[in-house]
Structure 1
Amino acid sequence: MDDQLASGRRSLRTLPTTSLLGPTGARLWADYLDPKPGFSGAIDFIHKLNIPLLFTVESDQGTVFEPCKLNWHPSYLAFEYESASLSLREHKFVTWNDCSVAVQTWENRGPDAIVIRLKTDPRILQNKDQGSLSGVYSADRYSFAIRTVLKLSDNRLHEGLELAPGQQVRLVIAAAMGIEEQDDAAALERRAAAFLEQPAEDILPANQAEYQSWFDQAPQFTCDEPLITKTWHYRWFLMRHNLADPRVGQLQYPLFYEGRSHKMSKTPFAPHGWEFSKLIPLTAPMHLLEARWYPDRSYGDGIWKNMMASQDDDGLYRCLLVNETLHSYANFMGWGAYQYYLIHRDKEMARQLLPSLKRQIDGESRLMGNAEDRLIIEYKHNRTGKEYQPSYWYFNDFPKNCKDPELVTPLKRVDRSIYHYLNCIGVMNLCLALDDPEAERFGEQAEQIKSDVLSGMWDEESQFFYDLHYKDNRKAYVKNIVGFYPYWAGMTDQRHKNGLDYLFDERYFGTRNPFPSVAKDCPVFSAEGGWQGHFFKGRNGCVWNGPTWPYTNSVILDALAEESKRREHVYDKEFGHAFREYSMLHYAQRDLDKPYLVEHYDSMTGEPISDDVDYNHSYYIDLVIRHIAGLNVQEDGIVLDPVHVGLTYFELNNVNINNDAIRVTYNKSASQAGTMEQGYRLYVNNELVLHSEHLQMMKYTFPRSSTKE
């Protein structure tokens, strides 16, 4: 992964003097690092803490190490500083077992002796014992305490290590962190000391190998377009970067964070604002779609186990921190769980999860349903993750003050209702797999939702799906991006075929940087966010009235691909263009040497609006597998059904479906991809089972039972 994604200096747009750090631990990570040796900046543990300093090394020549050279890699950060009198080279990283490690080489190039010494924060490290530093910091806001033990390869650094002119010294500094109640000081000391017991020159390569081993297990995809291949690598990096395993309080299982960067203030030990480093139900199903392709099931299983732990008495899944339960969010967990089941075929897992999924559907029906139909009412505009979407203000003529709660109209939302429909379909299919008699109930409910969406939300004259007034079913004539969700759910037919054309029309959603969150004909459309020129959430705030979100792009691309395949590939060209534009969002200034995905963008210029880098609230890997490579898993087999995006060759390998090794290859011409055979091929356990000279739909039926009891 280091070879694929290595970059130069990689820093936050809003904090350009800092540097990002790629590797993350199960609990420990750096939001950003200052241009100094060691770990100084904003350090976090499980949730946001803004610890300003774990350790650094200062010189009597000064404490400023700029200008410096920084080279970012997924597994480590390289830091170099040179002056007339001093040279410093450092490699630093965080390990999965929550050690911050720095390997430094100092050289005195001046005519006089210099002294370097360790600096730490007494709030983190209070005790010294035979050269080791240790301490406990009580993170009261999260109801846990962090124990830290720091070890040095040269204990003279505590009081000051003198370097004579021309002298060079190599240092290793390691700080191990854990939960006070779980990790005793002796265990943490052994963990930190392990880095001092190996040759310094071996430490970085060993870390790189350990870090790379996670990616070696993941599916591999290559093709003749560097943009798609590199973005595939970057998306797996996002999964690993946002992977966490708190194992404390309410978060006892692995999960993927929506992001690790900053929607919060940077005040040391006192972050304020919205943080992504927690369980967020809105995002969890997207993570499940991606994680289902990774062979280690502990990550995918962790998602649904944490979701079950978050469920309240009404059946709603809620945001979770280790010590606090927050509000619920709309989600398609029932659908995502069924997609996860299709890959692993674990009936015991399905039995554990199914009652929880049923409770969600029943709870949402009871709390947000209505007596007239099966559509779902959203009373709080931010609970679908699309705050300030203009349809909520349609019936009050888009007032200047959109923050006045009296001017917000609850709506029967398209997205809420589609999630509800998909959850019913997912639960129905899980019931069928388990011979659960309630399959019929959820199937009937899904059909009723479908009928109500198609009859009530579709407008024949304008050929679009709209939100409805929650009391009288009047249409809110705002073309929100969620108006395309019924195509994603596969519930549309020939009557609705023209609706997708809005995506490519420059008067509506066909912007330079597709797809905006609302059409350009909306009276309060703003490509850069804000509301009628008022940026009441700040320059980087989320306002769903015109910017582009990777979140909805992934859903719309999924819908576009499925609809194209249902209609004899009519939208393949448009999908290929939009998918490449979606891929380009992953790079600052559209430069493939600068991976940098954030939450949302100006839909006209492509400028990043937010600065929460390496953001993980969308899906991409799943789109490549199902629509580019064409690998689709059904109850009884595998269907190859790709969208034709103009690739000359591709290979998808290292995929595991119910313990079968899957490989898909395509080579348009025998001369294009080395030894790869010509044509479109599916291999199961190294045996060729499907073959065509061209990209086309083919089906492989499982020869045996494909479930695990």
Structure 2
Amino acid sequence: MTDATAPQEQFPIDVILARRGLRHHTLGPTGRRVYCDRLDNLLGLRGRFCYIHDRPDGQPISDPVAVEVLVGEQPVSTKRAAVYWYPSHLYRRTTQHGLRIQEYKFITEDDVICDQIEFTNESDQAVTVTVHTSSGALVEAARVGKDGIAGGWRTYEQTVRMILAAPARADSSNRVLKTEVELQVGESTSMLAALAVADTPANAQRSLQRWMQHEDPLLAHRRRYQAWYDDNCPRFECSDATVTRMWWYRWFLARHNLVDPELGHISHPLFYEGKHGGYARGVTASAPLILNEVRWLRDASLSHGMIRNYMHTQSSHGLYRDLWVDRVRGLEPGREGNPDPGYEEFLPAAFMGALLVHPDRELLEHAAQSMTANSEALRKLRDCNNNLLLNPGGHHMTQEHAPSFAHFHDYSDWYDYTELERPDYSAFFYANLRATAAAWRGLGRSREAQWFDGLAKRCAAAICEHMWDTQDGYFYAIRESDGEFARCREANGLFPFAFGAVPDDPEYHGAFVHLLSEEELFTPWPFATTSRQCPAFSARPGHWGWEKKDSYCTWNGPTWPYTNSILVEAMGRLLREHNQHLVTAEILCAFMGKFAAMMHESEDAGSPMVRECYDGETGEGFGCPDYFHSSYNDLIVRFMCGLIPDEGREVTVDPLCDGWSWFRLEGVGYRGHEISIVYETRKTDRAYDDVEPGLTVMVDGQVAAYAPDRTSLVVQMPFRKPKPATDVSSQEVPGQSDIEQ
């Protein structure tokens, strides 16, 4: 029997995010290698499932568990059913010919695709129910035992073995498992039909037996699925219910996009950019924001695994590359005409950010060398005129179709590209240099740290000297050949603030006037990626001005969660590091609520769904559902709740939540300890009675700091002995010759 009567409070992630309907034909749970790309509204689990990736040259798992039911001689139609979607499973119910059929569909963490089915006779007479179970994935198959069919194939240079299991009569074939049951009036029975997918027949058999022997496989699965959230995710709630719900949705987003195949180039846990629409791989563009987010999961192997995957596949010239199990992608020197050199952003800065939260001395040693090699590669390949301002190489960057590239061609076509040095990529490079310096400093290598600190200062100075237009009061991209401004005001002109490359000078603060102006970047669903004043502006994705295009990758006005994530960083750092009054904590807090509301469907607060990009006028989302191309929970931790990671034994807590009456953040794993932060304004309606009104910081369950109002607190962290360091003093470091000079 199923767990329909199990107390729902056991599964809070399902309670918080449950919704009615097919939810764009998605299935919430995913395995280490297997996931659902499209689930059809049919009996069984039909549709397109994938093994590790979804490339066109790969072999999909089509209709992995196909179920046909007959009541007597009458087939059950599969078109009408009530469907309820949960993060852990999908529930489907239909009643025909007096037979109620309830299905619970899920994928286990060890890659078993399950359909737990319950039949109930609601008619006024006994019925015979016949069930045929097959799998479209088993092209060449053979019987295994009484109740199984086995088969397999190769894809992505990997061997795939599958076993389908369901109750079967002796006359079942090697294609279809048949069973039959008599049900009296009011009688119920249940069965499990499942397809196990693994790299060997023995592993597939082992996983299958583990789930077939459970009295209630669904209940066991839901408990294991919920345990991932309980074990990994800090707990958070606040006075804005939409933000609270978004917090838990973002952790679902991380779990949904997690893979751990332990194969080929992905030998450690990795978070994909998405599992729909061709994004099922490690992408260097989104990896930094993903790392910023998942570093707050308690299991350090998740963020450390991301770092190791990118370091282990780092190219010989030093750039990081997109990852599949069987290949990598990236710019190869000397290979002219490479149509897709890959993306290169601020992975080194994200590496260091993750290691601030979960330190690991040995990993830091390897990361410092990897980050150094990356910085040297960027200087060589992307800084052709040696001014520390980077040219990303045209369209091959996150912001593919940005109007600044077409500025010098009167915006006539989105493929008219000018070689530009851009403020976003230069700010990323600055952040990488600072992070590399911090890594060497953490290893006690002061000479290397000073060298990269010096480079970072020169990079920041170059950004302010060459990209700041005193006339317009904004950072612009510049033409690489002569330094002329591409006077197209894009939101990425504020990215230098996000990474601390701009000094505290009133001259620069006015740039945020454009961000907050409804005539420029502040659309009804902010923020526009390009000012309304640009001739190519369109708030609607897939348009260049009024001309419709065949791609949503337009950054000429649509709202992108990616950009919003970095703009929150810019506003937050402006509030903390600059003496200005234009951007306030109230504005930032209100925007975080609006940002959360946008990442819902049709402004429905009960249906969170993050897409690639949004129409800034209507809030309509476009592109891949459950798209992990941004950060949000990281911004909640660091800016709204105020926890600022640091290299030393002090931690600063400085909440910027002006607009919330209360919040509670508990169980944050930080440098081997657990931090909790509770804030409540001094009002008569108390949210909590276990702490005093005001701001309370706890470390390992003990109050470490308190203030009666929202303010900045400095907390001394307890000492924890680090791992012994490996001697790297004699190791050659990429770029060492430059350091000597």
TM-score, normalised on structure 2? 0.88
1:475 to 485, 508, 512: 485
Counterpart for residue 443 of structure 2:
434
Quick one: distance in 1 between partners of 2:263 and 2:26? Answer: 26
Counterpart for residue 498 of structure 2:
488
Counterpart for residue 114 of structure 2:
101
Quick one: distance in 2 between partners of 1:378 and 1:313? Answer: 19
Aligned partner letter, 1:191: S
Counterpart for residue 143 of structure 1:
157
1:593 to 603, 606, 617: 606
Map 1:598-613 → 2, pairs under 5 A: 598-610=611-623, 612-613=624-625
Quick one: distance in 1 between partners of 2:169 and 2:196? Answer: 17
Quick one: distance in 1 between partners of 2:668 and 2:247? Answer: 14
TM-superposed CA distance for 1:37, in Å, is 2.2
TM-superposed CA distance for 1:535, in Å, is 3.0
1:292–1:340 contact (8 Å) kept in structure 2:
yes
1:196 aligns with 2:215: no
Cα distance change of structure 1 residues 122 and 454 upon mapping to structure 2, 3 Å threshold: closer
Quick one: distance in 2 between partners of 1:77 and 1:593? Answer: 17
Counterpart for residue 266 of structure 1:
none
TM-superposed CA distance for 1:174, in Å, is 2.1
1:73 to 53, 73, 86: 86
2:509–2:580 contact (8 Å) kept in structure 1:
no
Match of 1:47, SS state, is coil
Counterpart for residue 732 of structure 2:
none
Aligned partner letter, 1:190: R
TM-superposed CA distance for 1:101, in Å, is 1.4
Map 1:96-135 → 2, pairs under 5 A: 96-109=109-122, 113-121=128-136, 123-124=138-139, 126-135=141-150
Match of 2:75, SS state, is coil
TM-superposed CA distance for 1:168, in Å, is 3.9
Counterpart for residue 669 of structure 2:
656
1:556 aligns with 2:567: yes
2:689 to 675, 679, 701: 675
Cα distance change of structure 1 residues 164 and 633 upon mapping to structure 2, 3 Å threshold: closer
1:598-638 superposed Cα distances (whole Å, 9 cap, x missing partner): 1100011111122x111111011111111111111212211
Quick one: distance in 2 between partners of 1:363 and 1:5? Answer: 44
1:175 to 186, 195, 211: 195
Aligned partner letter, 1:534: E
TM-superposed CA distance for 1:431, in Å, is 0.8
Aligned partner letter, 1:595: P
TM-superposed CA distance for 1:126, in Å, is 0.6
1:420 aligns with 2:426: no
Quick one: distance in 1 between partners of 2:76 and 2:157? Answer: 35
Cα distance change of structure 1 residues 377 and 603 upon mapping to structure 2, 3 Å threshold: same
TM-superposed CA distance for 1:106, in Å, is 2.1
Quick one: distance in 1 between partners of 2:701 and 2:181? Answer: 61
What runs of 5+ residues in structure 2 fail to find an aligned partner?
1-12, 331-341, 725-741
2:36–2:49 contact (8 Å) kept in structure 1:
yes
Quick one: distance in 2 between partners of 1:305 and 1:155? Answer: 49
Quick one: distance in 2 between partners of 1:563 and 1:63? Answer: 62
TM-superposed CA distance for 1:448, in Å, is 0.9
1:92-144 superposed Cα distances (whole Å, 9 cap, x missing partner): 1111111111110124556664532112226456111222434343244x112
1:368–1:377 contact (8 Å) kept in structure 2:
yes
What runs of 5+ residues in structure 1 fail to find an aligned partner?
13-18, 264-274
Cα distance change of structure 1 residues 148 and 694 upon mapping to structure 2, 3 Å threshold: same
Match of 1:593, SS state, is coil
Aligned partner letter, 1:277: A
1:531 to 517, 531, 544: 544
Quick one: distance in 1 between partners of 2:33 and 2:675? Answer: 33
Counterpart for residue 16 of structure 1:
none
Aligned partner letter, 1:543: T
Quick one: distance in 1 between partners of 2:207 and 2:19? Answer: 30
2:307 to 304, 315, 319: 304
Stretch moving more, 353-362 or 61-70: 61-70
TM-superposed CA distance for 1:50, in Å, is 3.7
Counterpart for residue 25 of structure 1:
31
Map 1:215-614 → 2, pairs under 5 A: 215-217=229-231, 218-261=233-276, 263=277, 275-327=278-330, 328-371=342-385, 373-381=387-395, 383-399=396-412, 401-403=413-415, 407-436=416-445, 437-492=447-502, 493-494=504-505, 495-529=507-541, 530-538=543-551, 541-566=552-577, 567=579, 570-610=583-623, 612-614=624-626
Quick one: distance in 2 between partners of 1:155 and 1:619? Answer: 52
The runs of 4+ residues in structure 1 deviating greater than 6 Å are none
2:403–2:411 contact (8 Å) kept in structure 1:
yes
Cα distance change of structure 1 residues 293 and 114 upon mapping to structure 2, 3 Å threshold: closer
2:242–2:605 contact (8 Å) kept in structure 1:
yes
2:19 to 1, 7, 20: 7
Quick one: distance in 1 between partners of 2:444 and 2:559? Answer: 42
Counterpart for residue 159 of structure 1:
178
Aligned partner letter, 2:520: Y
Match of 1:395, SS state, is helix
Quick one: distance in 1 between partners of 2:345 and 2:723? Answer: 27
TM-superposed CA distance for 1:155, in Å, is 4.6
Match of 2:548, SS state, is coil
Aligned partner letter, 1:447: K
1:145-175 superposed Cα distances (whole Å, 9 cap, x missing partner): 2101122245578234254674643111222
Identity %: 27
Quick one: distance in 1 between partners of 2:47 and 2:718? Answer: 56
Number of equivalenced pairs: 676
TM-superposed CA distance for 1:644, in Å, is 3.1
TM-superposed CA distance for 1:703, in Å, is 5.0
2:322–2:329 contact (8 Å) kept in structure 1:
yes
Stretch moving more, 156-165 or 209-218: 156-165
Stretch moving more, 57-66 or 76-85: 57-66
Aligned partner letter, 2:427: I
1:207 to 213, 221, 241: 221
TM-superposed CA distance for 1:288, in Å, is 1.4
2:379–2:386 contact (8 Å) kept in structure 1:
no
2:130–2:178 contact (8 Å) kept in structure 1:
no
Counterpart for residue 272 of structure 1:
none
Aligned partner letter, 2:208: A
Quick one: distance in 2 between partners of 1:408 and 1:70? Answer: 48
1:642 to 655, 679, 696: 655
TM-superposed CA distance for 1:186, in Å, is 3.0
TM-superposed CA distance for 1:595, in Å, is 1.6
TM-superposed CA distance for 1:324, in Å, is 1.7
TM-superposed CA distance for 1:82, in Å, is 1.2
1:125–1:134 contact (8 Å) kept in structure 2:
no
Stretch moving more, 251-260 or 683-692: 683-692
Counterpart for residue 268 of structure 1:
none
Cα distance change of structure 1 residues 682 and 323 upon mapping to structure 2, 3 Å threshold: same
Stretch moving more, 320-329 or 420-429: 320-329
Quick one: distance in 1 between partners of 2:183 and 2:685? Answer: 62
TM-superposed CA distance for 1:534, in Å, is 3.4
Quick one: distance in 2 between partners of 1:319 and 1:536? Answer: 26
Aligned partner letter, 1:450: A
Aligned partner letter, 2:53: H
Quick one: distance in 1 between partners of 2:137 and 2:80? Answer: 28
